[in-house]
Amino acid sequence: MPNISLNFDNMNISAQVGDIVYYSHSGALLGGFDNTALPNTVMLGPILSIVDNSLVGGVGWTIVVDHINGGINNPPALGDYISFAKNKRVNTSSLLGYYASVNFVNNSTNKVELFSVGSEISESSK
């Protein structure tokens, strides 16, 4: 399967290897926003690598994507909206384990107030 390199000046830093990349062809302007229909959104494939080009003397980021649909007729074009989705097996919203430790540090010289702290506990085994 061919790989595709996507170059970005700015990027969402939560993107990581294994996330699935999608792209949407531009649609109609509605309320000052570019809108498109769901059928215009195409899955490109999983992210294989992310390179911060500033580390090698460049600018922006390069994402290498495993193009799972190699015979696609309409690859992403300049101006298409690129998005990604997390792997739900890996990126869950809960912590796993039997022990948690939290350390709150305030480095401010001004008076501050902690409004709320919450936690979730689920019995997973006996």
Q: Give residue 96's pLDDT.
A: 64
Which residues sit opposite 7 in a β-bridge?
Answer: 62
pTM for this model (two decimals):
0.63
Residue 120 confidence (pLDDT) above 80: no
Q: In Å, how far from its chain's centre is CA 60?
A: 16
Q: Please report which confidence band the pLDDT of residue 110 belongs to, taking 50, 70 and 90 as the band edges.
A: confident
- The residue among 16, 62, 63, 28 whose CA lies nearest residue 44 is 63
